[in-house]
Structure 1
Amino acid sequence: MQNQLVLTAAVEREDALRYTPAGLPVLEMWLRHQSRQREAGFERDVNCEVQALLIGEVARKFSGNLAGKMVTVSGFLSQRSLRNPRLVLHIEHVEFVKG
């Protein structure tokens, strides 16, 4: 079963394109999400930063073009590495938000 996380956020910053030992392009970025959500019958302000990765040809395509833009992304959460349990959003789809 595949569950997709969908998030609309501003790309606060992006690192330079790098490559894995296997030669895959990787673009690391930080997303800033702000919204108002309803929880237990009350309105709540949500403001968070999410570390995210684009891997593969899509990383090369978007490299240098995301910082400062509003995007809606979808993907999945995973630990950063085998030794680092910190969560990272692995982006599978990027859509620019108009406006």
Structure 2
Amino acid sequence: MQNRLLLTATVEREEALRVTPAGVPVLEVWLRHQSRQTEAGIERDVACEIQAVIAGEKARQLSGRLSGCQIEAQGFVCQRSLRNARLVLHIEHVEFVKG
């Protein structure tokens, strides 16, 4: 089964870097996407905001550098926790979009 998401978005908010009890650095960000898409032959404006997390050394490297930037984020979606079904994008790869 596949669970891959590629999204170009602006980082609206970036939280302070935190470290889990297991010692893993985690960076939480909120992404805002806006685009024009074609659905059933009809063009429409789409917009969404999605919470995302970056874990590991990449979180440490990007901490303090993302807020306000447009990025291309690639990763997978998962519910926030066992008790919270809200979807969160777990970013595995980030590229800054020039523009």
Instruction: Calculate the TM-score normalised by the size of structure 1.
Output: 0.97
Correspondence for 2:41: 41
- Is the 2:3–2:77 Cα contact (8 Å) retained in structure 1? no
Q: Deviations over 1:26-63 (max 9, x none)?
A: 00000000000000110010111010000000000000
User: 1:43, 1:18 → 2: CA distance?
Assistant: 41
Correspondence for 1:52: 52
Instruction: Calculate the TM-score normalised by the size of structure 2.
Output: 0.97
- Is the 2:35–2:47 Cα contact (8 Å) retained in structure 1? yes
Counterparts of residues 7-18 of structure 1 (less than 5 Å): 7-18=7-18
Aligned sequence identity (%): 72
**Stretches of structure 2 lacking an aligned partner (at least 5 in a row):** none
**Stretches of structure 1 lacking an aligned partner (at least 5 in a row):** none
Correspondence for 1:79: 79
Runs ≥4 in structure 1, deviation > 4 angstroms? none
Letter aligned with residue 40 of structure 2: A
Correspondence for 1:66: 66
Letter aligned with residue 73 of structure 1: A
Count of equivalent residues: 99
